[in-house]
Chains A and B, each alone.
Chain A
Amino acid sequence: MAESHGGAKGQPAKAHTEADGGHHSGGFPPFESSTFASQLVSLAIFFVLLYVIVSKLALPKVGGAIEARQNKIEGDLTEAQKLKDQSDAALKAYENELAAARSRAQAIGNESRDKANAQAEAERKALEDQLAKKLAEAEKTIASTRTAAMSNVRGIAADTASAIVQRLTGIVPDAASLNAAVDASLKG
């Protein structure tokens, strides 16, 4: 297999080495000096080509992509920090608002309770006054009724006493002594 290769493909190499004068194609290929010029020229061409592609196109493109990603990440982090600060501020504002509302509610509660208390007190007082007035009136009525009743009782007692004396003794007692006796017994 190897011989057939050497026979077929060694041909052009042999042509080269003959031009170079000396070496034969059975030599060690990396030390085949007749191929050096060709390799150096192609290396120069392709390495310069590669260098141009790399420096003008490839590195700017890939580097740009990496940088864009870095910027995006940094931007996003800053944005996230900003949003976090905003939400923190909002939370703080909310808490302040809540505290204020709570104290206001307390104040309103106290005020309305005081007002209600005062009103209730006033109503109670008015009612008491009214009741006291009515009581006084009632007492006056009772007193006058009692006086009237008592004066009636005196008349009835005098009449009754006169009738009892007349029935027992047959004498009509005189009015003056009867009255004195009734008064004395009513007092006692």
Chain B
Amino acid sequence: MKIDPIHQFNIEPLFTIGHIGNQTIAFTNSSLYMLVAVAVISILMLASGSQLVPGRLQSVAEISYEFVASTIRSTAGAEGMKFFPLIFSLFMFICVSNLVGIIPYTFTVSSHLIVTVGLALLVFFTVLIYGVAKNGLKFFSIFVPHGVPGYILPLVMFIEILSFFLRPVSHSIRLFANMLAGHIALKVFAGFVAMLGFSLGAIGWVGGVLPLALTIALYALEILVAFLQAYVFAILTCIYLNDAIHPGH
């Protein structure tokens, strides 16, 4: 019995879509779970009815709507609502794909750095392009904080600029690392249960209780993390967008 906590992250092409240069573009298991996430969100949002008194599914849809809307209003102000579809899509996509990914034998889309980098760069360029388009050069005043003495201003500006360009890095790695580490830890502890049971017989069965309990606890934690990382990703997006909308602060 060998524990292979990495195997769950394998990308397995299901069929080939086409070629770009010498790269083969395939429909992979990752693509499949992206499709699942889109389908789940669409069903939740569209098939839930629009009753005056909402049912259960409709309540979930409306709570998601209100939750994201209030997050945007509290962090980016009423003007941030023009990015509502983007932030809602990001939040729901990450949240649903994380929650689907936590089901055993499924694949977690956001456990791959390239996916989270793609989403983080989308946010980064949205902020940059919208910020410059709306405020012109005034947008770059976010690099010049108020009330800083002149002699350390170059240093502060350097740090501000560096941190601005490191945003997509931290933004993407936070989500990726959380999902990756959580799934590896789950797999390792769950593997211990099977390993003890198979190799040590009766003692192993008794000894397996501890890692099993830990697996269950971790599983609960991972459900929280799945939601929380989606929320963190969304709220950071709001905060970055706030810079583009109100660069004066």
A residues contacting B by CB (< 8 A) are 1-3, 5-6, 9-10, 12-13, 16, 19, 28-32, 34-47, 49-51, 53-55, 57-59, 61-66, 68-69, 72
How far is B30's CA from A11's CA once the two chains are assembled, in angstroms? 17
In the complex, the answer to whether A66 meets B65 with C-beta atoms within 8 Å is yes
> Does B35 reach chain A (CB closer than 8 Å)?
yes
Query: Which of B22, B34, B61, B176 has its CB near the most chain A CB atoms (within 10 A)?
Result: B34
Query: Can you give 17 A-B contacts (C-beta < 8 A)?
Result: A1-B1, A10-B10, A12-B13, A13-B10, A30-B112, A30-B113, A38-B23, A38-B30, A41-B17, A43-B115, A46-B38, A54-B45, A59-B85, A59-B88, A63-B65, A66-B65, A68-B50
How far is B118's CA from A68's CA once the two chains are assembled, in angstroms? 37
Q: Which residue of A lies closest to B87 (CB)?
A: A54
Which residues on A sit within 8 Å (CB–CB) of B85?
51, 54-55, 59
In the complex, the answer to whether B50 meets A58 with C-beta atoms within 8 Å is no
Report the minimum CB–CB distance from B11 to chain A (whole Å).
4
Give the dominant DSSP class at A's interface: helix
The 6 closest A-B pairs by CB, nearest first: A58-B45, A55-B85, A42-B31, A2-B4, A65-B50, A29-B9
Which residues on A sit within 8 Å (CB–CB) of B42?
50, 53, 57-58
How far is B13's CA from A42's CA once the two chains are assembled, in angstroms? 12
Report the minimum CB–CB distance from B9 to chain A (whole Å).
4
CB-CB contacts below 8 Å: B1-40 with A? 1-4, 6-7, 9-13, 17, 20, 22-28, 30-31, 34-35, 37-38
Please tell me which one of the listed residues B34, B62, B88, B176 contacts residue A42 in the complex, with CB atoms under 8 A apart.
B34
CB-CB contacts below 8 Å: B52-103 with A? 52, 54, 58, 61-62, 65-66, 84-86, 88-89, 92-93
From known contacts A62-B61, A66-B66, infer whether A29 and B89 are also in contact, taking CB-CB under 8 Å: no
From known contacts A42-B27, A42-B28, A64-B50, infer whether A9 and B10 are also in contact, taking CB-CB under 8 Å: yes
Report the minimum CB–CB distance from A68 to chain B (whole Å).
7
Which residues on A sit within 8 Å (CB–CB) of B3?
2
> Does B114 reach chain A (CB closer than 8 Å)?
yes
Number of contacting residues on B, CB 8 A? 58
In the complex, the answer to whether B30 meets A42 with C-beta atoms within 8 Å is yes
In the complex, the answer to whether A38 meets B118 with C-beta atoms within 8 Å is no
In the complex, the answer to whether B2 meets A3 with C-beta atoms within 8 Å is yes
In the complex, the answer to whether B25 meets A37 with C-beta atoms within 8 Å is yes
Please tell me which one of the listed residues A13, A38, A44, A69 contacts residue B52 in the complex, with CB atoms under 8 A apart.
A69
How far is B20's CA from A44's CA once the two chains are assembled, in angstroms? 15
In the complex, the answer to whether A46 meets B86 with C-beta atoms within 8 Å is no
Query: Which of B3, B9, B38, B114 has its CB near the most chain A CB atoms (within 10 A)?
Result: B114
